[in-house]
Amino acid sequence: MHNPPFISIITVCYNAEETIERTLQSVSLQSSSNYEYIIIDGKSKDGTLEIIEQYASFVSLLVSEPDKGLYDAMNKAIKYATGDYLCFLNAGDKFHSCDTLKLLINQVKELKVKPDVIYGETAIVDNKGEFIRMRRHSAPKQLTWKSFKKGMVICHQAFLPLRTLAPFYDLNYRYSADFDWCIQILKQSNFMFDTKDTLIDYLNQGLTTANHKASLIERFKIMTHHYGLISTLINHIKFTIRALVKQ
């Protein structure tokens, strides 16, 4: 047993007045206070900052200034974070329940060794926060860096690494830097702890077709970098065959 882990919850946002409040409410309602809450805003021009101000007592740090995009903002947050673990919670996403952090912290503090990565399941919700379905990829029981050969097997928001193991996001990737980030962390990790709980309610916003295609291209490049071209091609052929069989 060791000290309860301290969590750095991070939200990056820009012009998010329609979705930010559900995230702020979720953090404010957590039954555990063993966290810091960092918000990196890209100098929003709508009512985002006014909504954040209503929850100021739960916000440890608010930075509002122009940035170079999502992953640049996340890199800023990593610089400011002081917690044991990082938890990225996008505007519109929320913790699955009011006790999510408390249950996670209690599980981890009972372990003999601190995990390098804490992870769990993700539920997909609509704009009203209503449950749609569980995420297509369920969390693997044994998570390694090779698990990502199958794609993004863990939702980024339900993947909590030790801050000391977390590199900066590679800004050469515009859409899939989080995929690369998770693999980089897992490559240097030994103990991955599956909470077996649903940690996050993920807002089903959907990508535009153009961005989705660009994201897939980036993921292919990332997989080729980490796993090699032949292995990546074989896995993609398997994905295609499975998809055709299901039709």
- Average pLDDT for the chain: 91
Most confident range (mean pLDDT) of 79-83, 148-152, 204-208 is: 79-83
Does position 241 have pLDDT exceeding 80, yes or no? no
Q: How far apart are CA 146 and CA 152, in angstroms?
A: 11
Q: Which domain holds residue 113?
A: 7-246
* Local structure of residue 139 (DSSP, 8 states): P
Alpha helices, H only, the chain: 20-28, 48-53, 70-80, 100-109, 177-187, 209-227, 229-246
CATH number at residue 86: 3.90.550.10
* Domain assignment of residue 1, yes or no: no
When divided into structural domains, the chain yields a total of: 1
Any domain includes 2: no
For residue 243, name the pLDDT band (cuts at 50, 70, 90). Answer: very low
Instruction: Record the pTM.
Output: 0.92
Helical axes 209-227 vs 229-246, angle rounded to 10°: 130
Amino acid 215 reads: S
Distance set, CA 197 to CA 104, 130, 231 (Å): 9, 18, 32
Q: Which residue did the predictor score with more confidence, 215 or 196?
A: 196
Residue 30 lies in a domain: yes
Residue scoring higher pLDDT (63 or 125): 63
